[in-house]
Structure 1
């Protein structure tokens, strides 16, 4: 009886431990799956981080390359222009000298400063090597650095009722609709006697492009002295 009782107890114990072992195996399987999922998540995050870091490093490089390319292109264009202008002899470089003539006062209507008109053929006036005069403006034929100058002599009487006179050299381009003031001169008048005269000279080196137009504006076209061509003149030449 005792032997039978022991066998029965062992069988009972084995039967009781069987479900526990099954649960333990399932728990281990779940733990393994959870660990694998965690490892996969870490791997995916690491790959994404590496991809983003590589993209961030490449972006500045591409920007720097683009800036370098733009600077190189600009330098090559400037070099090409410089080479083209340097190849010209002094006699071949564009230049012009315009002198004053009687003005058309009809152009003084409106709020804008009137534009002076010039003589380009007679007397001391000339235009050479395609630096032409058209519609009150000098038209630039070759890109480069130009010396641009103008002198306007104003004269009047004490009855002119003006306190100052102004001269402006203006540039007009096809790419920009509004005129650009390159040089400006203003002189205050002091009344001495019954008449007065006041010259204003402007001159500077200016970088110009093909097709740019240069003109001279004044505050009062009726006060411009057009009696002598050496008093009021306008010109430019390629350096």
Structure 2
């Protein structure tokens, strides 16, 4: 900014001859404006750095949580589609439970009953349950869910007629109870089915080597301490004993 200032004239020269001096005055608002712009730019840069750091620090945690949720969802879906896993999960949360896997081998002398084992596959025992003489011993008086499954593969051809379906083969599976308080043995649950039929059934099928059929039993009972439970199954030579096909268990409610 330039201001015009008139210098005092010489008295002797008169008013006609005066010297005009130009004096430049710098405005104080110019440097303040530049300083404000500089501070604003610095503030914006600092804010951008903070936002960038916050975004990248939070993103890995979000990805981890998302991955964990997806993994849990897949696990839950797989378990829901497997009834055997569902029974195992429910019984494992019970105060007392036992789950046994069945086996049968004529060469080992098991000719009249399924041999139940607690130390193989998914079998386990907890809460005082014991397996004595192939029977489950109830640890305490109370309500219990008792269940068992027997799977069969039956050859339906009698050798005299061509093709399958020449005769019917009855299959049976039973759970019995021995109780000192009742004084006698009683049958808790039982089922009888025929695997060989001329038409297909909903719960059995054939693959050219025989008919497959499964008998499942399950219900709630009031049992006493010391009661013993066991199974009776016919057609043992046709029994399927692969893991998860034939089992026996009890868990407290």
Give the TM-score normalised by the residue count of structure 1: 0.55
In structure 1, stretches of 5+ residues that fail to align are 1-89, 109-113
**Contact persistence 2:156–2:169 (CA under 8 A):** no
**Contact persistence 1:116–1:215 (CA under 8 A):** no
Mapped partners of 2:179, 2:105: distance in 1: 24
More displaced stretch, 135-144 vs 213-222: 213-222
- Is 1:171 aligned with 2:191? no
Q: How much is the aligned-residue C-alpha RMSD, in angstroms?
A: 2.3
In the alignment, which of 75, 94, 97 is matched to residue 95 of structure 1?
Answer: 97
Q: Which has the higher strand share?
A: 2
The 1:156–1:92 alpha-carbon spacing in structure 2 relative to 1, beyond 3 Å, is closer
For the residue of structure 2 that corresponds to 1:158, the secondary structure is coil
Q: Hey, what does 1:125 align to over in structure 2? A: 123
Q: CA deviation at 1:92?
A: 6.9
In the alignment, which of 134, 143, 146 is matched to residue 145 of structure 1?
Answer: 143
Mapped partners of 1:91, 1:225: distance in 2: 28
The 1:149–1:106 alpha-carbon spacing in structure 2 relative to 1, beyond 3 Å, is same
- Is 1:184 aligned with 2:190? yes
Query: Deviations for 1:188-235, whole angstroms, at most 9, x for unmatched residues?
Result: 122454411110110000110000001111122222111x22111110
For the residue of structure 2 that corresponds to 1:222, the secondary structure is helix
**Contact persistence 2:99–2:125 (CA under 8 A):** yes
Mapped partners of 2:143, 2:175: distance in 1: 16
The 1:158–1:131 alpha-carbon spacing in structure 2 relative to 1, beyond 3 Å, is same
**Contact persistence 1:94–1:237 (CA under 8 A):** yes
For the residue of structure 1 that corresponds to 2:189, the secondary structure is strand
What is the number of residues matched between the two proteins?
144
Q: Hey, what does 2:77 align to over in structure 1? A: none
In structure 2, stretches of 5+ residues that fail to align are 1-91, 159-166, 198-205
Mapped partners of 1:210, 1:131: distance in 2: 10
For the residue of structure 1 that corresponds to 2:240, the secondary structure is coil
Mapped partners of 1:178, 1:94: distance in 2: 25
The 1:92–1:203 alpha-carbon spacing in structure 2 relative to 1, beyond 3 Å, is closer
Mapped partners of 2:157, 2:101: distance in 1: 27
Q: Hey, what does 1:158 align to over in structure 2? A: 156
Q: Which has the higher helix share?
A: 1
Listed as ranges, the matches of 1:2-151 within 5 Å are 93-103=95-105, 106=109, 108=111, 114-151=112-149
For the residue of structure 2 that corresponds to 1:179, the secondary structure is strand
